[in-house]
Amino acid sequence: MLATLVTVAVLVAVLLGLVWSQQRRLIYYPWPGRAPAAASVLPGSQEVTLDTEDGIRLHAWFVPAPTAGRGPAVVVCNGNAGNRALRAPLAAALSRAGLSVLLFDYRGFGGNPGRPSEDGLAADARAAQAWLAARPEVDPRRIAYFGESLGAAVALRLAVERPPAALVLRSPFTSLTDVGRLHYPWLPVGLLLADRYPSADRAADLTVPVLVVAGERDRIVPAALSRRLYDAAAEPKRFVLVPGADHNDAALLDGRELVGEILRFLEGTAVLGGPDR
Protein backbone atom coordinates (compact mmCIF):
# COMPACT_ATOMS: atom_id res chain seq x y z
CA MET A 1 0.00 0.00 0.00
CA LEU A 2 2.76 2.43 0.91
CA ALA A 3 4.63 1.69 -2.30
CA THR A 4 1.47 2.33 -4.30
CA LEU A 5 0.88 5.67 -2.58
CA VAL A 6 4.47 6.73 -3.20
CA THR A 7 4.18 5.77 -6.87
CA VAL A 8 0.95 7.74 -7.25
CA ALA A 9 2.46 10.76 -5.50
CA VAL A 10 5.50 10.67 -7.78
CA LEU A 11 3.30 10.43 -10.89
CA VAL A 12 1.15 13.34 -9.71
CA ALA A 13 4.24 15.42 -8.97
CA VAL A 14 5.66 14.66 -12.42
CA LEU A 15 2.35 15.55 -14.08
CA LEU A 16 2.05 18.83 -12.18
CA GLY A 17 5.67 19.67 -12.96
CA LEU A 18 5.05 19.02 -16.64
CA VAL A 19 1.92 21.20 -16.65
CA TRP A 20 3.74 23.99 -14.80
CA SER A 21 6.69 23.96 -17.20
CA GLN A 22 4.50 23.87 -20.31
CA GLN A 23 1.64 26.08 -19.12
CA ARG A 24 2.32 28.93 -21.55
CA ARG A 25 2.00 26.47 -24.42
CA LEU A 26 -1.53 25.85 -23.13
CA ILE A 27 -2.32 29.57 -22.95
CA TYR A 28 -0.77 31.10 -26.09
CA TYR A 29 -1.39 29.66 -29.56
CA PRO A 30 0.51 31.70 -32.16
CA TRP A 31 0.29 30.54 -35.76
CA PRO A 32 3.72 29.63 -37.14
CA GLY A 33 5.37 32.05 -39.52
CA ARG A 34 4.69 35.64 -40.41
CA ALA A 35 1.37 37.20 -41.24
CA PRO A 36 0.64 37.86 -44.93
CA ALA A 37 1.43 41.19 -46.56
CA ALA A 38 -0.86 43.96 -45.30
CA ALA A 39 -1.94 45.10 -48.76
CA SER A 40 -3.08 41.59 -49.65
CA VAL A 41 -5.50 41.55 -46.73
CA LEU A 42 -6.35 45.20 -46.05
CA PRO A 43 -6.01 47.45 -49.11
CA GLY A 44 -4.66 50.85 -48.12
CA SER A 45 -3.05 49.58 -44.91
CA GLN A 46 0.61 50.07 -44.05
CA GLU A 47 3.26 47.69 -42.73
CA VAL A 48 4.76 49.25 -39.59
CA THR A 49 6.98 48.18 -36.70
CA LEU A 50 6.70 48.91 -33.00
CA ASP A 51 9.59 48.98 -30.54
CA THR A 52 8.90 47.78 -26.99
CA GLU A 53 10.54 49.07 -23.86
CA ASP A 54 12.50 45.82 -23.51
CA GLY A 55 13.96 45.94 -27.00
CA ILE A 56 11.61 43.75 -29.05
CA ARG A 57 10.47 44.87 -32.50
CA LEU A 58 6.88 43.95 -33.35
CA HIS A 59 5.19 43.74 -36.74
CA ALA A 60 1.92 45.63 -37.13
CA TRP A 61 -0.54 47.02 -39.67
CA PHE A 62 -1.84 50.57 -39.62
CA VAL A 63 -5.13 51.30 -41.37
CA PRO A 64 -5.54 55.08 -41.78
CA ALA A 65 -9.00 56.59 -41.56
CA PRO A 66 -10.52 57.51 -44.93
CA THR A 67 -10.87 61.16 -43.85
CA ALA A 68 -8.05 63.67 -43.64
CA GLY A 69 -6.89 65.43 -40.49
CA ARG A 70 -6.30 64.32 -36.93
CA GLY A 71 -9.06 61.97 -35.95
CA PRO A 72 -10.14 59.04 -33.80
CA ALA A 73 -8.37 55.70 -33.68
CA VAL A 74 -8.54 52.22 -32.18
CA VAL A 75 -5.75 49.90 -31.08
CA VAL A 76 -6.77 46.24 -31.22
CA CYS A 77 -5.43 43.75 -28.67
CA ASN A 78 -5.78 40.25 -30.10
CA GLY A 79 -6.84 37.10 -28.34
CA ASN A 80 -4.48 34.24 -27.57
CA ALA A 81 -4.39 32.61 -31.00
CA GLY A 82 -3.61 33.31 -34.66
CA ASN A 83 -2.22 36.62 -35.85
CA ARG A 84 -3.40 40.08 -36.86
CA ALA A 85 -4.78 38.89 -40.20
CA LEU A 86 -7.71 37.31 -38.38
CA ARG A 87 -8.75 40.76 -37.14
CA ALA A 88 -8.65 42.36 -40.60
CA PRO A 89 -12.46 42.26 -41.15
CA LEU A 90 -13.02 44.12 -37.88
CA ALA A 91 -10.35 46.67 -38.79
CA ALA A 92 -11.96 47.20 -42.20
CA ALA A 93 -15.38 47.79 -40.62
CA LEU A 94 -13.98 50.29 -38.11
CA SER A 95 -12.01 52.06 -40.83
CA ARG A 96 -15.15 52.50 -42.94
CA ALA A 97 -16.72 54.19 -39.94
CA GLY A 98 -13.97 56.84 -39.92
CA LEU A 99 -11.49 55.35 -37.45
CA SER A 100 -7.80 54.71 -37.91
CA VAL A 101 -6.94 51.20 -36.70
CA LEU A 102 -3.72 49.61 -35.46
CA LEU A 103 -3.45 45.83 -35.62
CA PHE A 104 -0.35 44.36 -34.03
CA ASP A 105 0.98 40.97 -33.03
CA TYR A 106 2.38 40.23 -29.62
CA ARG A 107 5.89 38.87 -29.07
CA GLY A 108 6.07 35.30 -30.33
CA PHE A 109 3.11 35.87 -32.66
CA GLY A 110 3.04 36.73 -36.36
CA GLY A 111 6.76 36.12 -36.84
CA ASN A 112 7.75 38.40 -33.95
CA PRO A 113 10.69 37.49 -31.73
CA GLY A 114 10.31 36.71 -28.05
CA ARG A 115 8.03 34.53 -25.98
CA PRO A 116 4.58 35.59 -24.77
CA SER A 117 3.88 36.24 -21.09
CA GLU A 118 1.52 38.48 -19.14
CA ASP A 119 4.11 41.21 -18.56
CA GLY A 120 5.46 40.81 -22.09
CA LEU A 121 2.04 41.35 -23.67
CA ALA A 122 1.52 44.37 -21.43
CA ALA A 123 4.76 45.87 -22.75
CA ASP A 124 3.67 45.12 -26.32
CA ALA A 125 0.36 46.91 -25.77
CA ARG A 126 2.13 49.95 -24.35
CA ALA A 127 4.34 50.08 -27.44
CA ALA A 128 1.27 49.92 -29.68
CA GLN A 129 -0.51 52.70 -27.78
CA ALA A 130 2.56 54.95 -27.81
CA TRP A 131 3.09 54.44 -31.54
CA LEU A 132 -0.54 55.19 -32.37
CA ALA A 133 -0.72 58.26 -30.14
CA ALA A 134 2.32 59.73 -31.93
CA ARG A 135 0.83 59.44 -35.42
CA PRO A 136 0.16 62.85 -37.03
CA GLU A 137 -3.25 61.70 -38.35
CA VAL A 138 -4.41 60.52 -34.92
CA ASP A 139 -5.82 62.67 -32.12
CA PRO A 140 -4.34 61.12 -28.95
CA ARG A 141 -7.37 62.32 -26.97
CA ARG A 142 -9.66 60.18 -29.14
CA ILE A 143 -8.07 56.74 -28.95
CA ALA A 144 -10.10 53.68 -27.95
CA TYR A 145 -8.76 50.29 -26.91
CA PHE A 146 -10.42 47.09 -28.16
CA GLY A 147 -9.52 43.75 -26.61
CA GLU A 148 -10.88 40.30 -27.34
CA SER A 149 -10.76 37.39 -24.89
CA LEU A 150 -7.20 37.29 -23.51
CA GLY A 151 -6.61 40.58 -25.32
CA ALA A 152 -9.43 42.09 -23.25
CA ALA A 153 -7.27 41.50 -20.18
CA VAL A 154 -4.33 43.12 -21.99
CA ALA A 155 -6.45 46.12 -23.04
CA LEU A 156 -7.91 46.51 -19.56
CA ARG A 157 -4.48 46.62 -17.94
CA LEU A 158 -3.38 49.16 -20.53
CA ALA A 159 -6.50 51.25 -19.81
CA VAL A 160 -5.61 51.38 -16.13
CA GLU A 161 -2.01 52.37 -16.87
CA ARG A 162 -2.78 54.75 -19.75
CA PRO A 163 -6.49 55.68 -19.77
CA PRO A 164 -8.00 55.88 -23.27
CA ALA A 165 -11.10 57.79 -24.37
CA ALA A 166 -13.06 54.50 -24.29
CA LEU A 167 -12.54 50.79 -23.70
CA VAL A 168 -14.25 47.92 -25.54
CA LEU A 169 -13.91 44.40 -24.12
CA ARG A 170 -15.14 41.43 -26.14
CA SER A 171 -15.52 38.15 -24.20
CA PRO A 172 -13.49 39.35 -21.22
CA PHE A 173 -12.93 37.18 -18.15
CA THR A 174 -12.54 37.93 -14.46
CA SER A 175 -9.13 36.24 -14.29
CA LEU A 176 -7.24 33.56 -16.14
CA THR A 177 -7.34 31.57 -12.92
CA ASP A 178 -11.15 31.44 -13.13
CA VAL A 179 -11.01 30.34 -16.77
CA GLY A 180 -8.43 27.68 -15.94
CA ARG A 181 -10.52 26.27 -13.11
CA LEU A 182 -13.46 26.04 -15.48
CA HIS A 183 -11.59 24.07 -18.16
CA TYR A 184 -9.17 22.14 -15.92
CA PRO A 185 -11.15 21.47 -12.71
CA TRP A 186 -8.82 18.58 -11.80
CA LEU A 187 -5.74 20.82 -11.64
CA PRO A 188 -4.69 23.17 -8.78
CA VAL A 189 -4.76 26.07 -11.23
CA GLY A 190 -4.44 28.69 -8.52
CA LEU A 191 -1.09 27.26 -7.49
CA LEU A 192 0.30 26.57 -10.95
CA LEU A 193 -0.47 29.68 -12.99
CA ALA A 194 2.36 32.12 -13.66
CA ASP A 195 0.23 34.45 -15.82
CA ARG A 196 -2.99 35.27 -13.98
CA TYR A 197 -4.48 38.34 -15.71
CA PRO A 198 -6.53 39.49 -12.68
CA SER A 199 -8.93 41.67 -14.69
CA ALA A 200 -11.72 41.88 -12.11
CA ASP A 201 -9.28 43.26 -9.55
CA ARG A 202 -7.94 45.77 -12.05
CA ALA A 203 -11.41 46.81 -13.24
CA ALA A 204 -11.98 48.70 -10.00
CA ASP A 205 -9.28 51.15 -11.11
CA LEU A 206 -10.84 51.94 -14.49
CA THR A 207 -11.79 55.59 -15.01
CA VAL A 208 -13.07 55.43 -18.61
CA PRO A 209 -16.33 54.41 -20.35
CA VAL A 210 -16.46 50.63 -20.83
CA LEU A 211 -18.40 48.43 -23.26
CA VAL A 212 -18.48 44.69 -22.52
CA VAL A 213 -19.71 42.34 -25.26
CA ALA A 214 -20.31 38.65 -24.53
CA GLY A 215 -21.59 35.69 -26.49
CA GLU A 216 -24.66 33.97 -25.11
CA ARG A 217 -23.26 30.49 -25.85
CA ASP A 218 -19.56 31.18 -25.36
CA ARG A 219 -17.99 27.88 -24.30
CA ILE A 220 -14.49 29.26 -23.75
CA VAL A 221 -15.30 32.38 -21.73
CA PRO A 222 -18.87 31.94 -20.49
CA ALA A 223 -21.02 35.06 -20.49
CA ALA A 224 -21.28 34.80 -16.70
CA LEU A 225 -17.56 35.53 -16.37
CA SER A 226 -17.85 38.53 -18.68
CA ARG A 227 -20.81 39.78 -16.66
CA ARG A 228 -18.85 39.47 -13.42
CA LEU A 229 -16.03 41.50 -14.97
CA TYR A 230 -18.58 44.11 -16.09
CA ASP A 231 -20.03 44.28 -12.56
CA ALA A 232 -16.56 45.03 -11.18
CA ALA A 233 -16.17 48.14 -13.37
CA ALA A 234 -17.52 51.58 -12.47
CA GLU A 235 -19.96 53.62 -14.53
CA PRO A 236 -20.26 54.66 -17.29
CA LYS A 237 -20.50 51.18 -18.75
CA ARG A 238 -22.66 49.04 -21.01
CA PHE A 239 -23.16 45.28 -21.29
CA VAL A 240 -24.26 43.59 -24.53
CA LEU A 241 -25.11 39.90 -24.88
CA VAL A 242 -25.03 38.62 -28.47
CA PRO A 243 -27.73 35.94 -28.80
CA GLY A 244 -26.57 32.44 -29.75
CA ALA A 245 -22.93 33.45 -30.27
CA ASP A 246 -20.02 31.18 -29.36
CA HIS A 247 -16.49 32.42 -28.71
CA ASN A 248 -15.11 32.19 -32.26
CA ASP A 249 -18.32 32.75 -34.21
CA ALA A 250 -18.32 35.42 -36.92
CA ALA A 251 -20.89 37.34 -34.87
CA LEU A 252 -18.19 38.07 -32.29
CA LEU A 253 -15.40 38.67 -34.80
CA ASP A 254 -16.91 41.29 -37.10
CA GLY A 255 -20.67 40.69 -36.89
CA ARG A 256 -23.11 43.46 -37.68
CA GLU A 257 -24.42 43.62 -34.12
CA LEU A 258 -20.92 43.70 -32.65
CA VAL A 259 -19.70 46.48 -34.95
CA GLY A 260 -22.94 48.41 -34.53
CA GLU A 261 -22.74 48.27 -30.74
CA ILE A 262 -19.11 49.38 -30.80
CA LEU A 263 -19.86 52.37 -33.00
CA ARG A 264 -22.93 53.41 -31.00
CA PHE A 265 -20.89 53.19 -27.83
CA LEU A 266 -18.01 55.22 -29.28
CA GLU A 267 -20.45 57.88 -30.51
CA GLY A 268 -21.30 58.52 -26.87
CA THR A 269 -17.65 59.08 -25.96
CA ALA A 270 -14.91 61.47 -27.02
CA VAL A 271 -13.76 58.96 -29.65
CA LEU A 272 -16.58 59.60 -32.13
CA GLY A 273 -18.51 62.18 -30.17
CA GLY A 274 -15.87 64.83 -30.81
CA PRO A 275 -12.70 65.96 -29.08
CA ASP A 276 -14.54 68.27 -26.68
CA ARG A 277 -17.05 65.76 -25.29
User: Would you state the pLDDT for residue 16?
Assistant: 46
Q: What is the pLDDT of residue 190?
A: 74
Judge whether residue 93 has pLDDT over 90.
Answer: yes
Q: What is the pLDDT at residue 3?
A: 63
pLDDT over 70 (residue 277)? no
Confidence of residue 237 (pLDDT cuts 50, 70, 90): very high
pTM of the model: 0.91
Instruction: Annotate the chain with DSSP letters as a single string.
Output: -HHHHHHHHHHHHHHHHHHHHHHHHHH-EEPSSPPPPHHHHSTT-EEEEEE-TTS-EEEEEEE--SS-SSEEEEEEE--SEE-GGGGHHHHHHHHHTT-EEEEE--TTSTT-SS---HHHHHHHHHHHHHHHHT-TTEEEEEEEEEEETHHHHHHHHHHHHS--SEEEEES--S-HHHHHHHH-TTS-HHHH-S----HHHHHTT--S-EEEEEETT-SSS-HHHHHHHHHHSPSSEEEEEETT--TTSGGGTT-HHHHHHHHHHHHTSHHHH-TT-
159-181 pLDDT tens trace: 999 999 999 999 999 999 999 89
pLDDT of 103-133, one tens digit each? Answer: 999 999 999 999 999 999 999 999 999 999 9
pLDDT at 73 over 90: yes
